[in-house]
Amino acid sequence: MNKVTVVGSGFVGATVAQYVADKDLADVVVVDIIEGMPQGKSLDLMEAAPLAGHDCEIVGTNDYAATKGSDIVVITAGIARKPGMTRDDLLKINANIVQGVARETVKHSPDAIFIVVTNPLDVMTYLTWKTTKLPSSRVIGMAGVLDSARFQAFIGMETGFSVQDIKAMVLGGHGDLMVPLPRFSSVNGVPITELMTADRIEALSKRTRDGGAEIVALLKTGSAFYAPGRSVAEMVESILKDKNRLLPCAVLADGEYGLKDVYIGLPAVLGREGLKKIVELKLSGAESAELKKSADSIRENIDAMNKLLVTA
């Protein structure tokens, strides 16, 4: 049986564990520093297993030794955004948390593929790569899957079409400068530019950029977890089943799209070895400029993080 470790037993981490088990993908180890929380949530999920129809083992622990030999490590540990807090406000606190988590987990699972969820996501993925010293193909950030799903959902709400027929592509950083691509978004092959006016497409693009903040404002005491958890499970499935799905993820650019040495959301093919390749789309001048602006912002935050940490 495959083994997936989820670090952090908050809403996102617990939801990742639930979806991974419900898809019958792997045994799951949930790790947290809070005593009792990962154990309690894991026991609850095990008691739901007969109803979900899977035989995956779900274990909660406070000991990283239990994660040994994981195929995939998912990092969700960190604080969630509060109303009025941007993703970048999380930088200092979460950088220290993620660095510690990466060091501990890679000791026990040196052959694992890492999926990073903690915000600010692109920067935390870069930090995980630097800390673990793994090949960049084995350190991937979850963002584009979530942002694209939000764009798809909003298109469905706007048009009334089934979301099963809607595909969307959102690139760039996981923040205010993400880059929704209407030209590469469609309803059963029909570009949304043929189905909606430019002003409505722009309105939905803006709502996608603000998707996380919208939920934070409504919840008041937390942030999104259902869609992020499901997004991770989709990535885990593509990797463990070697499905070669084309999913927008935070990956290390090495010349693609004119970008280098920065983790940013790009179309990625995911399989058993992690990132198999980055697919280059023919972007317009405006789209390329937006992507570069997003990359520049991520680099600024990486520089800020490096000044906060003794080592990165």
Residues belonging to the active site:
174
Burial grade of 165 (CB within 10 A; 0-12, 13-18, 19 or more): middle
Local structure of residue 222 (DSSP, 8 states)? -
Identify the residue whose tokens are 């990132």.
Answer: 275
* Residues 115 and 143 sit within 8 Å (Cβ to Cβ): no
Neighbours of 218 (CB within 10 A): 10
Cα–Cα nearest to 131, from 103, 91, 94: 103
* Residues 31 and 5 sit within 8 Å (Cβ to Cβ): yes
Task: Give the whole-angstrom CA distance, residue 90 versus residue 118.
Answer: 9
Structure tokens at 109: 């699972």
Neighbours of 102 (CB within 10 A): 25
* Residues 195 and 165 sit within 8 Å (Cβ to Cβ): no
